[in-house]
Amino acid sequence: MNILDKIVIDKRKEVTLRKNLIPIKQLEQSVLFERETVSLANNLRNSKSGIIAEHKRRSPSKSVINNTLNVQDVASGYENAGVCGMSVLTDGKYFGGSLDDLLTARASCNLPLLRKEFIIDQYQLLEAKAYGADVILLIAAILTKAEIKQFSEFAKNLKLDVLLEVHNEEELHKSIMPSLDMLGVNNRNLKTFDVSLETSKTLSQLIPDDFVKVSESGISNIEAIKELQPYGYQGFLIGENFMKTDNPGQSATQFIKNLEP
């Protein structure tokens, strides 16, 4: 069993628990549920850098990345740096994140926020909306075509942007549908954790132009972005690169400055 399978098994248990604790009605009564969302896809279309900066404490492949920073500083730092959006990991067991991180980020900045999570249930989309997210992530590797359709259409009804993540051609073919805004190519093989930008290059030709193309994982320098831009990528998700420093906001500021001379 690979790490992704393990995460999904744990996630199913976790979501069942949460559903019993917090009824849907309660989520829908959240103050943030009526909030006007901000489109990450639009931000990426109109940006020169296309940076989506991530808040991530640890990961299964790297263990601890940074446990000392508070979300508030990271979020306001990223906003000052001029990033297009912020990704907030909300998985606790494997990534050390929580929905409270999303709430704190929402209170600290006006950036579009992506709830980075392993979504396997419609309930998690209501949570995302109730905790201030603007965008949700769907991972093709853990969902059927029917689930991708159901979840993405439900998200659009909630006025949330949808970023769908694929790793290979097979996942891409089952995923292309009008209810998506962005197609993300993860350069990390979730089974082996190997990273290669070739994945983004190969799949780029198969992604229709109606979708904003996003490249994820393994983007640690400006060269990587310059290499991928000619392939039509407008979004670049960067996590570890900023988070492993003492001041992610400052690192992002410097990165964007060097990218847009």
Q: What is the pLDDT of residues 72-102, one digit of tens each?
A: 999 999 999 999 999 999 999 999 999 999 9
Residue with tokens 């709430």: 103
pTM, two decimal places: 0.96
pLDDT for 63 equals 79
CA distance 39 to 111: 9
Amino acid at 85: G
pLDDT for 125 equals 98
**Helix 123-130 and helix 3-21, axial crossing angle in degrees, nearest 10:** 70
**Which tokens hold the place of 192?**
């082996």
Indicate whether 111 pLDDT > 80. Answer: yes
CA distance 97 to 88: 8
Indicate whether 112 pLDDT > 90. Answer: yes
Residue 259 dihedral angles phi and psi, to the nearest 5°: -80, -35
Catalytic residue numbers read: 54, 56, 116, 165, 186, 216-217
pLDDT for 134 equals 98
pLDDT for 62 equals 74
Q: What is the mean pLDDT of residues 230-237?
A: 98
CA distance 198 to 58: 25
pLDDT for 110 equals 98
| pLDDT tens-place string over residues 26-85 | 999 999 999 999 999 999 999 999 999 999 998 887 778 888 889 999 999 999 999 999
pLDDT for 167 equals 94
pLDDT for 179 equals 98
Inter-residue contact 44 to 212 (CB < 8 Å) = yes
Burial 4-21 (b: 16+ CB within 10 A, else e): beebbeebeebbeeeeee
pLDDT for 1 equals 79
Inter-residue contact 99 to 16 (CB < 8 Å) = no
| pLDDT tens-place string over residues 153-207 | 999 999 999 999 999 999 999 999 999 999 999 998 877 778 999 999 999 999 9
Q: Which CATH class is domain 3-259?
A: alpha beta
Residues with Cβ within 8 Å of 174's Cβ and at least 6 positions away in sequence, in order, are: 140, 144, 145, 148
| pLDDT tens-place string over residues 240-252 | 899 999 999 999 9
Residue 53 dihedral angles phi and psi, to the nearest 5°: -100, 145
Top-confidence residue, 239 or 55: 55
From 2, 44, 6, select the one nearest 236 (Cα to Cα): 44
Mean pLDDT (the chain) is 95
**Helix 145-157 and helix 123-130, axial crossing angle in degrees, nearest 10:** 30
pLDDT for 215 equals 98
pLDDT for 84 equals 98
